[in-house]
Structure 1
């Protein structure tokens, strides 16, 4: 019978010491994440912790609301915005680490309904559909909501559809209005209805990019995260092939 291997006491002690050092260097980073990026960021955060030992503590919400919280001293260290303008503004105000900002994803707006046959491939339902409510995110707080209003403006439908519009504080709430049936259709992020390159349910119109300004989503290292190894590591991890594969699977471009 084979005898179990006996490890030298010094080897065991060294292994325990190295394990302790790894745990000692593991840090937490507080991350403000635009609501449209909820699903992919949850997967990325799990992989980040498995690969680095660092833990990303995630908060999801509207970009405009996060800006207000950050300027009022909220303890976020990394900000993943739904636009590029808000991180740029924080840059100008000296609230970030200079040179850290980059575009981590380009968002895709879709008109979506949980009904598999309701939204047509050209979005004509906006003109012909007999719906009571059209959901979108608050255009004053959420870039996807602003993009949705640009689409309606370009199609000359704003005045006609204004009485039917219901707004969520962020894109997650706008999605919930439609998913719950309180609105028959709505403008949401493709990432909310897609996984592994496919629409998971319902019907959708991929809104042409020339109908609204590009949804460039920037990440930035906030000044409060300058000396946090986990914050720096997360910014690097977002550029990794593993993270980019997750981002692409949810319908974002680069």
Structure 2
């Protein structure tokens, strides 16, 4: 409880009002690919519940290491389903709290219109100097990119051209600034309101990599915070799901 809430609680007790009138805060670690939709969802969550979600964005693998070392997060929205499951087994998360909040899509994207065709043939042509992807050991979208190139038989050919971002947000930045002509990003980063936001892209077929099932889980630090469980419930509402789908995720 914040110091502000402590003062409010004391006031409520004096006047005999229920403590449930108080709003709570929850510290949330969010996979970088989910940045745009989560900012909208957090604002809607606060309006609907009065609770505030404090958001931090980054790579799932890095969050795992931070949480294991005592970072004060209470909820994790991961970019995969393996990390939350592992955290449950290791006692870092509340058993049974895990939900799948979205299934992500991988896209090969260029900031240049017409550079990436809708079949991904540009990969075979190789008419570029750099291709960006997120570090596969830290970011599930990076792992999906490696798997895609492997299945296409292009990994060894393209590997010398790799520019790796620490997370998918940095990978997007490499491409958007032109430091890499194209790169594998989350579709949600380049897709909004049902259409491509700019540039050119190939949405990678789901059969070229394992499903990017994104799970959320309440962490041990959040087990007694009602705002943590309320947030996971809110992710399942139609209001939140409409936002999620508008960024190219499936449910």
Instruction: Give TM-score scaled by structure 1 length.
Output: 0.91
Q: 1:83 and 2:80 equivalent?
A: yes
Give deviations 1:74-95, integer Å, cap 9, x for gaps.
Answer: 0000000000000000011111
User: How far, CA to CA, are the matches of 1:22 and 1:162 in structure 2?
Assistant: 58
Where does residue 60 of structure 1 map in the other structure? 57
Which of 204, 215, 220 is the equivalent residue of 1:218? 215
Structure 2: 5+ residue stretches without partners: 1-14
Q: 1:73 and 2:70 equivalent?
A: yes
Where does residue 94 of structure 2 map in the other structure? 97
3-state SS in 2 of match to 1:56: strand
User: How far, CA to CA, are the matches of 1:212 and 1:63 in structure 2?
Assistant: 18
- Is the Cα contact below 8 Å between 1:116 and 1:203 reproduced in 2? yes
Where does residue 125 of structure 2 map in the other structure? 128
Give deviations 1:169-205, integer Å, cap 9, x for gaps.
Answer: 0000000000000000000000000111100101100
Q: Give aligned pairs, total.
A: 238
- Give the number of the structure whose alpha-carbon radius of gyration is greater: 1
3-state SS in 1 of match to 2:158: helix
Where does residue 41 of structure 2 map in the other structure? 44
Q: 1:155 and 2:147 equivalent?
A: no
- Once the two structures are TM-superposed, the CA of residue 22 in structure 1 deviates from its matched residue by 7.7
Structure 1: 5+ residue stretches without partners: 1-16
Q: How does 1:1-254 map to 2 (within 5 A)?
A: 25-254=22-251
- Once the two structures are TM-superposed, the CA of residue 104 in structure 1 deviates from its matched residue by 0.3
Aligned CA-pair RMSD: 1.6
Where does residue 12 of structure 1 map in the other structure? none
Structure 1 runs of 4+ with >3 Å offset: 20-24
- Once the two structures are TM-superposed, the CA of residue 24 in structure 1 deviates from its matched residue by 5.2
